[in-house]
Amino acid sequence: MPKPTKGPRLGGGPAHERLMLNQMASQLFEHKRIQTTETKAKRLQPVAERLVTFAKRGDLHARRRVMRQILDKSVVHELFTEIAPLVENREGGYTRIIKTGFRKGDNAPLAVIELVLEPVNPKPKRAKKAEAPAAEAVAAEDVAEEEVAEVPADDADVAETVEEAEEAAVAEADAETAEVAEEAPEAETEEAPAADVAEEAAEEKAE
């Protein structure tokens, strides 16, 4: 059993609703835009887009399938020969709904449903995907070259710092050796008078 459509039913019964939507779709393809209530426009949109999808196929089976809903052969011919080529590059979204306010008598919300026949430029998806890895590869090569160019400079800097540290250590060692050499004679001169004083004290005690 087919699943019933959600929402309010248009017309007195399901057969009346189908006939109403088919006739509105025929008028839409003939005039390219029609004004109706917002509820009817929303129910008509999937029906019309499905018929346009059949028209894009262009074969005999699709034409017979459309003629089951649209009985006017001139409208079917216009749909297959004029409308389908204009939406050949468009992947869905063949209609648009524009709200136009409220009706004066019963304050029902009105809307205009129209065909989207503007030319569309398909996005070059594959070109972008092909360019992205190439750009990443070029960027990686540039980074690798920069790192290779920076490594010798860093090694040279490290060598210079090592040489400077060694020179500084040698200079400090020489300075400490010189200070020790200068202090040694002073210590000998200070220890000599002390030894003389000790000898004189020992001689006085012996006497």
- Domain assignment of residue 127, yes or no: no
How is residue 91 written in tokens? 């992947």
- Domain assignment of residue 90, yes or no: yes
- Domain assignment of residue 101, yes or no: yes
pTM (2 decimals)? 0.56
- Domain assignment of residue 189, yes or no: no
- Domain assignment of residue 33, yes or no: yes
Render pLDDT for 72-124 as a digit per residue (tens, 0 to 9): 999 999 999 999 999 998 988 999 999 999 999 999 999 999 999 998 876 77
CB neighbour burial string for 146-168, b if at least 16 within 10 angstroms, e if fewer: eeeeeeeeeeeeeeeeeeeeeee
pLDDT of residue 151: 46
Q: Residue 89 sits in which domain range?
A: 14-115
- Domain assignment of residue 160, yes or no: no
pLDDT of residue 148: 52
pLDDT of residue 70: 94
- Domain assignment of residue 163, yes or no: no
- Contact by Cβ (8 Å): 166, 158: no
- Domain assignment of residue 167, yes or no: no
Specify the number of domains making up the chain. 1
| Mean pLDDT of all residues in 9-34 | 91
Render pLDDT for 125-134 as a digit per residue (tens, 0 to 9): 665 555 666 6
- For the domain that residue 85 is a member of, what is the CATH number? 3.90.1030.10
Burial of 112 (0-12, 13-18, 19+ CB in 10 A): middle
